[in-house]
């Protein structure tokens, strides 16, 4: 398999973690989002959305990190990341979707660029936007995680919720979001980052990290 990735992409970071947890061999192919490589014809042929991550399975070219995570889960069930009964799995997915659907899309590179570009917002206003949506997402996550977390987001088993949470915490740190109000999130982040699958998948450990 090959993963088209960018070191700072939180969506690609999710997939890197899952590949590592499942101990899967995958070649990482950096796509430079800063110089617009994701808008090149060569990359758009792989993913017309012009977004990373893209997983080339050899047979399929898959985009959208949550779809890729579900594909990996179904194809390589070892180190299961969606466990328990249907309601347990729905809860794991709901935590993951808060991050992937409600938080990340509002704070993505192209959205932030649009705010300061086409809409003419100042850097400070952009950060206000970023912090607002991060705060709203982490506040609801903290409330739910306070009840559900053991060692990891849901009890003592790693799940897709942890795979999505840790990259979003990285992103919040990157934009200097205050995190003091989220003790459970911080504890889970410390625990996961002590595991090689998370630490080795982190942006600063990637070959394309600047
Ligand atoms: N919903 C998509 C989001 C993918 C996405 O937004 N990727 C970002 C990096 S995290 C990207 O490629 N951004 C390029 C841009 O914003 O121009 C997923 O989960 O894969």
Query: Closest ligand 1 atom to the C-alpha of 109?
Result: 16
In this predicted structure, which of 21-30, 57-66, 104-113, 138-147 has the lowest mean pLDDT? Answer: 104-113
* Backbone φ and ψ of 96, nearest 5°: -65, -40
Q: How far is the CA of 23 from the centre of ligand 1 (A)?
A: 24
Is 51's C-beta closer than 6 angstroms to any atom of ligand 1?
A: yes
Ligand 1 atom 5: residue of nearest CA: 51
pLDDT for 68: 98
Q: What is the pTM of this model?
A: 0.97
Instruction: Indicate if the pLDDT at residue 210 is higher than 90.
Output: no
Total count of residues recorded for the chain: 210
DSSP-assigned beta bridge partners for residue 186: none
- Nearest CA among 150, 140, 151 for reference residue 181: 140
Give the chain's domains with CATH numbers.
Answer: 2-79 (3.40.30.10), 86-197 (1.20.1050.10)
Is 65's C-beta closer than 6 angstroms to any atom of ligand 1?
A: yes
What does the pLDDT average to over 149-174? Answer: 98
Q: How far is the CA of 55 from the centre of ligand 1 (A)?
A: 13
pLDDT for 19: 98
Q: What is the DSSP letter of 159?
A: -
For 22-68, what is each residue's pLDDT tens digit? 999 999 999 999 999 999 999 999 999 999 999 999 999 999 999 99
Beta carbons within 8 Å of 165's beta carbon, 6+ residues apart: 95, 99, 141, 153, 185, 188, 189, 192
What does the pLDDT average to over 110-133? Answer: 96
pLDDT for 105: 96
Q: How far is the CA of 207 from the centre of ligand 1 (A)?
A: 19
């Amino acid at each position: 398999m090959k993963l088209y990735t960018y070191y700072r992409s939180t969506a690609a970071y999710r997939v890197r973690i899952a590949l590592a947890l499942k101990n899967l061999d995958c070649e990482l192919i950096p796509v430079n989002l800063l110089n617009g490589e994701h808008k090149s014809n060569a990359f758009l042929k792989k993913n017309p959305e012009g977004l990373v991550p893209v997983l080339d399975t050899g047979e399929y070219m898959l985009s959208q990190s949550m779809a890729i995570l579900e594909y990996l889960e179904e194809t390589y069930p070892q180190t299961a990341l969606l466990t328990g009964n249907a309601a347990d799995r729905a809860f794991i997915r709901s935590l993951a979707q808060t991050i992937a659907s409600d938080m990340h899309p509002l704070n993505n590179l192209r959205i932030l660029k649009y705010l300061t570009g086409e809409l003419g917002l100042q850097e400070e206003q952009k950060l206000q936007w970023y912090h607002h949506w991060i705060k709203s997402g982490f506040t609801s996550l903290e409330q739910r995680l306070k009840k559900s977390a053991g060692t990891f987001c849901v009890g003592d088993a790693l799940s897709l919720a942890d795979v999505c949470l840790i990259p979003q915490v990285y992103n919040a740190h990157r934009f200097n979001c205050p995190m003091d109000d989220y003790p459970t999130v911080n504890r889970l982040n410390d625990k996961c980052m002590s595991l090689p699958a998370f630490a080795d998948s982190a942006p600063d450990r990637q070959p394309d990290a600047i």
